[in-house]
Amino acid sequence: MKIFVTGGTGFVGSYLVRNLARRGHKVTVVTRSPGKASSINGGVALVQGDPMKPGQWQQELKDHDVIVNLAGASIFTYWTEKARKAIMESRLFTTRNVVDALAENGKEKILISASAVGYYGSREDDLVLDESSPPGNEFVTEVSRLWEAEAARAADHGVRVVLARLGIVLGRNGGALGKMVPAFKRYLGGTLGSGRQWFPWIHEEDILHIILFLLEKDHIAGPVNFTAPNPVRHKDLVQTLSKVLNKPAVMPPVPGFAVKALLGEFGNVLLKGQRVIPGKLTDEGYQFQYPELRGALENILRQE
Ligand SMILES: NC(=O)c1ccc[n+]([C@@H]2O[C@H](COP(=O)([O-])OP(=O)(O)OC[C@H]3O[C@@H](n4cnc5c(N)ncnc54)[C@H](OP(=O)(O)O)[C@@H]3O)[C@@H](O)[C@H]2O)c1
């Protein structure tokens, strides 16, 4: 298939596009910086453009069967007013431009548009959340909700729209592990706050396989939780990570107030988490490559 990707140079996107191309799909990535994107080459075509702005890249998009929409400014930062604006607008404007480009001949096309488990809000309880659960009430929820609403407009043009509510992606070259592993290797890894908060994770390889699965399932549309079936508590993540790395986590837990002082509202998200399960994928019979955290971490970290 011909697959067009926004955000294809990022942590999730670069893994995805390399592996889609390896499987024989014709993949095109729109990027603001083709120079920086040279590492993904491997048969992937690059188009220069800023997806936040309408442009020639939209003409290129029209010629593709599938659009995977991942672009967005990083949320791993202190959320100043300026950062919040960038986080929100980079997602809304990009998605709006993608959907506008699909207005003419959307029939037979598929849009897989990223969202996040942040949709459900940061929660301190053990309630199990699936796609039918209501949204939370905070900044990340608002971003996810509006981002999804922009993507959902493509359905009016006949496009099959999947809203991919991504959990925390575990993979080789960045993401959450890219931030955690260096600290653990120096015996500086530890629990944040009580450690009881839920950590809804997913292996990058499952993201690839879920997308391939969804391409074959014409009847699946709307929100789909991209999370492993066995979320863990943060303290279990810390324990498993230290076992797999063979580096005991000797640091005392970082108190919640310190995390909040350091990271502001983003710190709050890390301290609360949410217990999300892949309700729709399980109902549809998707078989996870990595259903358990230990196997996922061994696969990622023992090959490094
Ligand atoms: N990683 C996770 O654990 C996780 C969890 C939940 C949801 N998600 C969502 O999944 C998507 C991909 O995540 P990721 O970790 O791969 O992100 P990433 O590594 O930060 O990559 C994001 C991509 O978006 C583009 N981008 C960044 N800022 C932009 C801006 N201001 N305007 C337009 N494009 C911009 C960049 O492309 P160019 O620089 O090439 O233009 C980059 O390749 C994100 O939208 C993220 O919110 C990720």
Question: Under DSSP, is residue 278 helix (H, G, I), strand (E, B) or coil?
Answer: coil
Is the pLDDT higher at 190 or at 299? 299
Q: Find the 6 Cα to ligand 1 centroid distance in Å.
A: 9
Half-sphere exposure of residue 247, counting CA atoms within 13 Å on the CB side? 16
Best of 4, 5, 6, 9 for a ligand 1 pocket test (most atoms within 8 Å of beta carbon): 9
Neighbours of 134 (CB within 10 A): 10
In the prediction, which pLDDT does 302 show? 86
Does residue 36 register a pLDDT over 90?
Answer: no
Alpha carbons 238 and 157: distance in angstroms, whole number: 45
Nearest to 162 by CA among 137, 138, 140, 131: 131
- Atom of ligand 1 at shortest distance to CA of 70? 11
Whether 303 shows a pLDDT value over 70: the answer reads: no
Amino acid at 264: G
CA atoms of 237 and 300, how far apart (whole Å): 14
Please tell me the residue having the least CA distance from ligand 1 atom 20.
Answer: 74
Q: Which domains does the chain have, with CATH numbers?
A: 2-171+201-228 (3.40.50.720)
Interval 158-169: pLDDT, tens: 999 999 999 999
pLDDT digits (tens, 9 = 90+) for 49-65: 999 999 999 999 999 99
pLDDT at 34: 86
pLDDT at 265: 85
Q: Residue 128 pLDDT > 70, yes or no?
A: yes
User: In which band, very low, low, confident or very high, does the pLDDT at 187 lie, cut at 50, 70 and 90?
Assistant: confident
Tally of CB atoms within 10 A around 36: 10
Backbone angles phi, psi at 136, to 5 degrees: -80, -150
**Ligand 1 test: best mutation among 74, 140, 146, 270, most atoms within 8 Å of CB?**
74
Answer yes or no: is the C-beta of 74 below 6 A from any ligand 1 atom: yes
- Cβ of residue 168 lying under 6 Å from some atom of ligand 1: yes
Query: How far is it, in rounded angstroms, from Cα 142 to Cα 171?
Result: 26
Least confident range of 41-45, 47-51, 72-76, 239-243: 41-45
Decide: 114 in ligand 1 pocket, CB within 6 A. Answer: yes
Task: Give the per-residue pLDDT at 95.
Answer: 98
Q: Percent of the chain scored above 90 by pLDDT?
A: 83
Provide the pLDDT for residue 301: 95
Cα(151)–Cα(222) distance, rounded to whole angstroms? 10
13 C-alpha to ligand 1 centroid (Å):
8
Give pLDDT, residue 105.
82
Q: What percent of the chain has pLDDT over 70?
A: 99
How confident is the model over 5-24, as a mean pLDDT? 96
CA dihedral 107, 110, 116, 121 (to 10 degrees): 30
Distance 224 CA to ligand 1 centre (A): 19
* CA–centroid distance, residue 201 to ligand 1 (Å): 17
Segment 65-114, tens digit of pLDDT: 999 999 999 998 889 999 999 999 999 999 999 999 999 888 889 999 99
pLDDT for residue 304 is more than 80: no
Distance from the alpha carbon of residue 84 to the mean position of ligand 1, in angstroms: 14
Check residues 125 and 142 and name the one with the higher pLDDT.
Answer: 142
Asked whether 70 lines ligand 1 (CB < 6 A), one says yes
Of the residues 79, 169, 203, which should be mutated to test ligand 1's pocket, given the most ligand atoms within 8 Å of the CB?
Answer: 169
Mean pLDDT of the chain, nearest integer: 94
Candidate of 5, 12, 74 to mutate for ligand 1, largest count of ligand atoms within 8 Å of Cβ: 12
Residue 18 pLDDT exceeds 80: yes
* 189, pLDDT greater than 60: yes
Verify whether ligand 1 is closer than 6 Å to residue 97 (CB atom): no
